[in-house]
Amino acid sequence: MRFVVYGAGAVGGVIGARLFQHGHDVTLIARGAHHEAVRDGGLRLDTPDESVTLPIPVADRPAKVTFRPGDVVLLAMKTQDTLPALTELAAVAPPDIVVASAQNGVENERLALRRFPRVYGVCVLLPSAFLEPGVVQAYQAPRTGGLDVGRYPDGVDGTAESLAAAFADATFAAEARPDVMRYKYGKLLMNLGNAVEVVIGPGERGADIARLAREEGEACLRAAGIDALGGGGMPFQVRPIRGRARGGGSSYQSLRRGTGTIEADYLNGEIVLLGREHGVPTPVNDLLRRLANRMAHEGLQPGLMTPEEFMAALDGSAPG
């Protein structure tokens, strides 16, 4: 089994690095300066216990990969980039290739299933970072995080069990679960706080706003009849790397890198969508979504407003 990790940033880069480090066949797909750095000098993985540079094969697009029977494509880009990525992949990959979504949100699997029949969901609990080309960081060690996996929309088969075994061999807590999407909906509730880190900044200042966002999310899932499991926290302790703590989650890192896009439409926006479909108000998530998108578009850094300013904007007494 070869893993073709499509999107070698914080999550994909760390998973690919750990798999490669433990003897698995891995090819990365990365873009731009990150691709060039990995191609020329390898991928550096920093953890609380080590810093290692790994000579992982890398391509800059699916068309540069010669796909083989038994390959697994591990999607690890942000959801706003999934559709064009799948379009490129479908043009060159065998139609029966295994596609596994190691991504936040719950939309990616549906997008993949339109193009490929063998789709798997991976519930990712992985505190990681990618802020400079050629370097990814994992803030848990010796266990790196959690990667539960199951077939989409449900079920467990030999492929799911093989994926879970490979992840477990590569320092992840991993189980094959027939109801993996219930865990991904639980993770979605956690990820509603990503936009809070962007708008308010990381730390405890935005805790009350994150709680309100989650309460809206839970109400929407109940109204939609969607059962969510897990999402209660990381399975192991997050530790600093060379004395520096992890600064923030994936959306925070997108703003720090100035990517110009953010995944709020598929996290907070998923709750807004469910609320509109089922008649549940979602003002907190909608404002977080709009503000996060505006900040990404304008190239702003995290920490746009205080919690008090956010609540004033929510009440309509300040521009949102």
* Last residue of one domain, picked from the residues 138, 161, 178: 178
Rounded CA separation 18/45 (Å): 9
CATH number at residue 294: 1.10.1040.10
Provide Rg for the chain, Cα atoms: 19
Q: Are both 214 and 66 inside the same structural domain?
A: no
Q: What pLDDT shows up at residue 229?
A: 87
Rounded CA separation 289/52 (Å): 37
Q: What pLDDT shows up at residue 320?
A: 38
Residue 131 belongs to domain spanning: 1-178
Q: Which of 53, 7, 56 is nearest to 27 (CA)?
A: 56
Q: Which two tokens stand for residue 71?
A: 């390959």
Q: Are both 116 and 61 inside the same structural domain?
A: yes
Q: Are both 121 and 138 inside the same structural domain?
A: yes
Buried/exposed code over 77-101 (b: 16+ C-beta within 10 A; e: otherwise): bbbbbbeebbeebbeebeeebbbbb
Q: What is the pLDDT of residues 217-261, one digit of tens each?
A: 999 999 999 999 875 455 568 899 988 888 788 899 889 888 899
* Last residue of one domain, picked from the residues 178, 207, 241: 178
Give the type of residue at 194: N
Q: Indicate the pTM of the whole model.
A: 0.95
Number of domains, the chain: 2
Q: Which residues of the chain have pLDDT under 70?
A: 231-236, 317-320
Q: Are both 173 and 261 inside the same structural domain?
A: no
Contacts of 110 (CB under 8 A, 6+ apart): none
Q: Are both 1 and 50 inside the same structural domain?
A: yes
Q: Are both 11 and 160 inside the same structural domain?
A: yes
Rounded CA separation 84/35 (Å): 18
Distances (CA, A) of 189 to 156, 193, 231: 24, 8, 7
Q: What is the DSSP secondary-structure string of 71-119?
A: -EEEE-S-GGGHHHHHHHHHHHS-TT-EEEE--SSSSHHHHHHTT-S-E
Q: What pLDDT shows up at residue 21?
A: 97
Q: Are both 85 and 19 inside the same structural domain?
A: yes
Rounded CA separation 104/106 (Å): 7
Helix 250-257 × helix 10-21 angle, to 10°: 110
Q: In what order do the strands lie in the sheet with 43-46?
A: 51-54, 43-46, 135-138, 128-132
Is it true that the peptide bond before 48 is cis, omega within 30 degrees of 0?
Answer: no
Q: Is 315 helix (H, G, I), strand (E, B) or coil?
A: coil
Q: Are both 210 and 172 inside the same structural domain?
A: no
Q: What pLDDT shows up at residue 246?
A: 84
Q: Are both 125 and 185 inside the same structural domain?
A: no
Chain centroid to CA 70: how far?
A: 24
* Last residue of one domain, picked from the residues 144, 178, 212: 178
Q: Are both 118 and 209 inside the same structural domain?
A: no
CATH number at residue 60: 3.40.50.720
Q: Are both 77 and 9 inside the same structural domain?
A: yes
Q: Are both 136 and 165 inside the same structural domain?
A: yes
